[in-house]
Structure 1
Amino acid sequence: MARERSGPNFAHVVLATRLRILRKAAGLSPQQAADALGAHGDTVRRIEQAKTSLDAGQVHTLLTAYGAGAEEIEDFLGKLSAASLPGWWHPWRAVMDTWQRDLMSVESAARIIRIWEPALVPALLRTPAYARALDEALRPDLAPAEMEQRTELLMARQERLRAQRTRIWALMSASALHTRVGGEEVMAEQRKVLRAEAERPGLTLQIHPLTGPPHALTGIPALTLYRVESPEIPDRMVREAGPVGTADVWDTDTAATTVTNYRLLMDSSSTRAPHPDTSKEALE
């Protein structure tokens, strides 16, 4: 387990996976492909696992060895060039937490995001005023301008996820509705937005009541599961534990048991939580 572990760019992972598929289709072993590069056998394995940057020259050599035609090579290199461009979130990179920078490309391609938030309104459902007030309370190390940029980024993330129709399944505790963040006006606006979000297609919101019994996620820090619609791309699980702004990140390629165990806890807790229609009553 590594806190704030760096992760490869999602677009690079897709291209690296494509290289592996083409190599296998050509009937070549990793060592044979490495021989074409004049490199060590581990070089191709690292390329295919997106553990090293994709070099255009090496990619061209590999594609040629795999029997790819000129048009396919040109298309692949074009995608590689596009994948190397800064992500849409680049203007806010300086105010992002390390784990967010590593995972933003995955979030931007996710088809479903599952969230557990034990004490606060989930980030992807927060209003600008709530998000800003929370940073003021929890991140006194940030300058006002940095807080404003972080709020802008969060609003951009929410907008993009709605535009790409990413399904969000959020599970939270009713304690968040009783934790006053930014005062009564901020909380009233936040409740209003949550009511509206609960009616939005593609979003499921469940709220564990304060008087409810313990459930599988009781005492567990905030969790987020990212799933992409591609069997080659592993799920990512984020646990926001420890100092504010840090997180533990796992994926199903390298920590399948950990990701599966937390997902099962989410499943169990969701089963015990009130139905989304009943949860809406807590927002009144």
Structure 2
Amino acid sequence: MSSNKASTMRQQRLGVELRRLRERAGLSSTEAAKRLGGTPAQISNIEAGRYAVSAERVRTLAANYSCADQAYVDALAGMTGSRLRGWWEEYREILPAGLVDVAELEHAATALRVAVMLQMPGLLQTAEYARATFRENVPRLPAYEVEHRVSFRIRRQAVLYGDHPTPLTVVVHEAALRMGFGGAETSRAQLGYLAEMSERDNISVVVIPFGEVSFPVSGHPIVYASGPVSRLDTVQLDTEYGCDFLDAEAQLEKYRTVLDRMESRALKPGESRDLIRRVAEDV
């Protein structure tokens, strides 16, 4: 078990889940350490994600905590190992930590659900559209940071390609289609790209049109990342102050319900694509 001060989001989540298992078992860190043959400090470090822990040790801890959910234990064991140096780590020193963690979350997700009201979803943005939105940041970002964020956003989109592309479902409000970031040319190209991407087998884009008022409103984009088992799902929210990550059972249930209701109020994929193209013609 090696020290890992700069733990990844994945390792931090593993630690959180192990802590939850211990607490459900009604054990203190001291009692858990005795069963493991270690010290309370080791348990604390594991639960804080500061140590890279082995799959065997995770299974031992799960057995000590009387966890009988084998699929869940297998998923936890799959989250172990030394630090994963994904491409996003190149940005760790130049972008806010929350943004970098989003890429790691998307990389590990088995499926993604997104809802946006005022901007296009980041995974389906063109470079020019992304650049236009970042230029509106308050306080204003320096030009070099805008370009870092644009390149980062485009690289995140790799999860939608390859031999095993991640399934993506997007709910977008008509207001986002008509916001006009970057001017007419940029908006038209963005809408065309959105319609084109919606035709991919792994991507579904549905639009809530103006006039549909009966749905749960969220002023911030919602990303629901599915894990290998539902207990390991994560919700990510963009806020004015950065990225929030939620994984409590009640929070996951809430946002599953929100997304289900939003999708139920949206047009069908074909109708949504037609609306996107009509809006592009009007720009």
TM-score range, shorter-chain basis?
0.7 to 0.9
Q: 1:33–1:62: 8 Å Cα contact kept in structure 2? A: no
Tell me the TM-score normalised to structure 1 length: 0.74
Q: Does 1:156 align with 2:149?
A: no
Question: Cα distance 1:257–1:60, how it changes in 2: closer, same or farther (>3 A)?
Answer: closer
Give the number of equivalent residue pairs. 247
Q: 1:198 to 1:141 in 2, by over 3 A?
A: same
- What is the 5 A alignment of 1:186-205? 186-205=186-205
CA contact (8 A) 1:237 1:250 kept: yes
Question: Would you say 1:268 and 2:253 are equivalent positions?
Answer: no
Give unmatched runs, 5+ long, in structure 2.
Answer: 1-5, 22-27, 62-76, 278-283
Query: 1:44, 1:158 → 2: CA distance?
Result: 37
1:138: how far off?
Answer: 2.1
Partner in structure 2 of residue 251 of structure 1 = 247
Q: Distance in 1 between matches of 2:261 and 2:56?
A: 49
- Give, in whole Å, the separation in 2 of the partners of 1:99 and 1:231: 22
Measured in 2, the distance between the counterparts of 1:166 and 1:185 equals 29
Unaligned runs of 5+ in 1: 1-5, 22-28, 67-75
Q: Distance in 2 between matches of 1:125 and 1:62?
A: 40
Return the letter of the residue paired with 1:148: E
Note if contact 1:225-1:236 (Cα within 8 Å) is conserved in structure 2: yes
Counterpart position of 1:80:
81
Aligned equivalent of 1:178: 178
> Cα deviation per residue 1:160-202 (whole Å; 9 max; x = unaligned)?
3323411111001111221111111101110110111110111
Which amino acid in structure 2 is aligned with residue 228 of structure 1?
Answer: G
SS of equivalent to 1:166: coil
1:76-225 residue pairs with structure 2 within 5 A?
A: 80-81=81-82, 84-139=83-138, 141-163=140-162, 164-210=164-210, 212-225=211-224
Q: Which amino acid aligns with 2:167?
A: R
Mean CA deviation greater in 168-177 or 87-96? 87-96
> 2:243 & 2:81 partners in 1: Cα distance?
29
Give the partner amino acid of 2:50: S
Distance apart, 1:277 and its partner CA: 0.9
Structure-1 separation of matches of 2:214 and 2:8: 34
Report the Cα offset of residue 126 of structure 1: 0.5
CA drift of 1:159 comes to 1.7
User: Given that residues 204 and 276 in structure 1 are in contact (C-alpha distance below 8 angstroms), is that contact kept between their aligned partners in structure 2?
Assistant: yes
**Alignment match, 2:73:** none
The structural deviation recorded for 1:219 is: 4.8
1:250-280 C-alpha deviation (Å, 9 max, x unpaired): 113xxx2122112201101111111111101
Which aligned runs of 4 or more in structure 1 are off by greater than 6 angstroms?
15-18
Residue 51 (structure 2) pairs with residue 54 (structure 1):
yes
CA RMSD in angstroms comes to 3.5
Distance 2:176 2:116 in 1: 9
Q: Which has the higher contact order (CA 8 A, sep 6+)?
A: 1
State the alpha-carbon separation in 1 of the partners of residues 201 and 17 from structure 2.
33
Report the identity percentage: 22
Whole-Å separation in 1 of the counterparts to 2:12 and 2:245: 19
Native 8 Å contact 2:8 2:84 kept in 1 = no
Match of 2:237, SS state, is strand
